[in-house]
Chains A and B, each alone.
Chain A
């Protein structure tokens, strides 16, 4: 099953490949070297991560003992929506973490490469991409930035 619109891709596929994998098929289309496909195992793990993120809403003020704010519903919504989006890219979310300003952090990981995307109560979304302790890119999360760091993780 393909989710072309959910991948925010605006161009036609240049290559189409069908992989047999167990009792299901993964249809992979390549767009400017980024891939978009669904994988039941990734969807399952990401759904567990979404439940984990939703549980951050139960944290009370000062949950970190340093005076943290409770986690904002807007940040939880932004983070869970992003996780759903990553499922459509076939990208498993590595970890999710609450922050003291009511934000939610999502981590993607591939070997030494890590991307952290942070969803703030204000609706602001920022990311940083690191290779080990070297910063590769950082800035506001835009569709183009997302496309670029997924491509970078896949390289």
Chain B
């Protein structure tokens, strides 16, 4: 996979959720973990799970939980997902096509996501 290529549909993506403020008591994640900022120009950073480890992706297990979402679920919402490796993170990818103050897509992404019981 080269930079800018679409991420294959079967890949799992990881996004950090701030815990406990973005992780509900029932172990689900809120929509706020899937909101882009205006300066992100509709792009949301994620890691491709097959190119990293949970330990690396979580950065700080005392602050975050990892939310896993299937790339095909992202595509089915009408969004894009491109590979965007960084110098310090070869697993980095971007979900594209988000609208900053839209409430629907972040909600649907959060519904599709699973919070991993890691490192618990």
Please give the residue numbers on chain A whose beta carbons come within 8 Å of chain B beta carbons, in ascending order: 56, 59, 63-69, 95, 97-101, 103, 105, 107, 116, 118, 120, 124, 126-128, 130, 132-133, 135, 138
**Residues of B contacting A103 in the complex (Cβ-Cβ under 8 angstroms):** 32, 35
The A-contacting residues of B in range 42-91, CB under 8 angstroms, are 45, 59-60, 63-64
Most buried by A among B25, B32, B33, B101: B32
Question: What is the minimal beta-carbon distance from B24 to any residue of chain A, in angstroms?
Answer: 5
The reply to whether A124 and B101 contact each other, CB–CB distance below 8 Å, is yes
B103 interface neighbour in A98, A100, A133, A138, Cβ under 8 Å = A138
The reply to whether A128 and B32 contact each other, CB–CB distance below 8 Å, is no
Please give the residue numbers on chain B whose beta carbons come within 8 Å of chain A beta carbons, in ascending order: 16, 18, 21-22, 24-25, 30-33, 35-39, 45, 59-60, 63-64, 100-101, 103-104, 107-108, 111
Please list the 8 inter-chain residue pairs (A to B) with the smallest Cβ-Cβ separation, ordered nearest first.
A99-B32, A128-B103, A97-B30, A97-B32, A64-B18, A133-B111, A99-B35, A105-B32
The reply to whether B35 and A100 contact each other, CB–CB distance below 8 Å, is yes
Question: What is the minimal beta-carbon distance from B27 to any residue of chain A, in angstroms?
Answer: 12
Question: What is the minimal beta-carbon distance from B45 to any residue of chain A, in angstroms?
Answer: 6
Q: Given A101-B37, A116-B31, A63 and B18 touching (CB < 8 A)?
A: yes
Question: What is the minimal beta-carbon distance from B84 to any residue of chain A, in angstroms?
Answer: 14
